[in-house]
Structure 1
Amino acid sequence: MLNPDSLFQIGNPIAFLGWLLLLVAPRWRGTRAMVLSGALPLLLAATYVILIGYQTFAHPAPGAGFGSLAQVAALFREPWALLAGWVHYLCFDLAVGAWEARDAHRRGMPHLVLIPCLVATFMLGPLGLLLYCGLRQRWQPAPAAAPLA
């Protein structure tokens, strides 16, 4: 039976696979097809839409909303909404990581320099984005770099 816990156990490895590919095989055809093309982040986005719709209509959280911190806390007491929120993070962080990888390649940034940014984006989202945006200022786009995706 599909419940928030079982779906959590499915979603995490899928996102982790995307991160693993970005870290260890950024130029592999499979990485380009699954992650850098946006396919895996879009799969997570579609999953989010389904989850948030299901939560909204089948499992509404009493007192939930976005107008106050208390309303957001009430929303995330509902397991389906919490799962949707988690998938939201998985989706956006992976999309940002894919952008970082594509942009770094276009700029000619060495992959070893990118790895700490990707790890930080995977673990702490905005911190990794800030780190990458700080580092990318040192590399101007390479004129003839072939795109990763």
Structure 2
Amino acid sequence: MNPSAIFSFGNSFVLIGWILLLAIPNWKHTQTIVLGGVVFVLSIIYAFVLISGLGSFSLDSFSTLENVKRLFSEDQAVALGWIHYLAFDLFVGAYIVRKSKALGISRWLYSLALPFTFMFGPMGYLIFLIVKTIKTKTWNF
């Protein structure tokens, strides 16, 4: 798979998970499909791309901003990083849904955090933490 195909596939495939989390979060198979299906497949793709080699990747590739910029000047590294973002943001989205349901947080409230989690990762998680803290009046994780 070339980096462009990996990027395109990831962008389309991850939507399955996000649609399930937003449209039918209470369906008994949603978490299984999201975590055991979508995140699992993205993880396999990630592992395949990583194992197939990153060219200039070395142990110090993340040690300085300049090294990270150099690493991400390669299409394969950008595709790998993008799959990483997609998988982890979806994992966090699934966590937000699970935790919110366990705490009795309204679907409408926790759904506010999901688009932000999809597009901006940590910002969505921050919104969830604020909603959770207001709802439960506790600051715990």
The reply on whether 1:83 has 2:74 as its aligned counterpart is: no
SS at match of 1:139: helix
Alignment partner for residue 93 of structure 1, among 89, 98, 106? 89
Work out the CA distance in 1 between the residues paired with 2:114 and 2:36. 16
The reply on whether 1:12 has 2:7 as its aligned counterpart is: no
The change in CA–CA distance for 1:61 and 1:43 in structure 2 (over 3 A counts) is same
Identity in percent: 33
**Superposition deviation, residue 46 in structure 1:** 2.2
Extract unaligned runs of 5+ from structure 1.
Answer: 141-149
Answer yes or no: is the 8 Å Cα contact 2:18–2:90 preserved in 1. Answer: yes
- Number of the residue aligned with 2:52: 54
- Residues 91-128 of structure 1 show CA distances to partners (whole Å, capped at 9, x for unaligned) of 11000000000000001111111111011101100000
**Superposition deviation, residue 5 in structure 1:** 0.8
Answer yes or no: is the 8 Å Cα contact 1:61–1:77 preserved in 2. Answer: no
Answer yes or no: is the 8 Å Cα contact 2:31–2:94 preserved in 1. Answer: no
The reply on whether 1:110 has 2:106 as its aligned counterpart is: yes
The change in CA–CA distance for 1:118 and 1:77 in structure 2 (over 3 A counts) is same
TM value normalised by structure 2:
0.87
Alignment RMSD: 1.8
Extract unaligned runs of 5+ from structure 2.
Answer: 137-141
Aligned length: 135
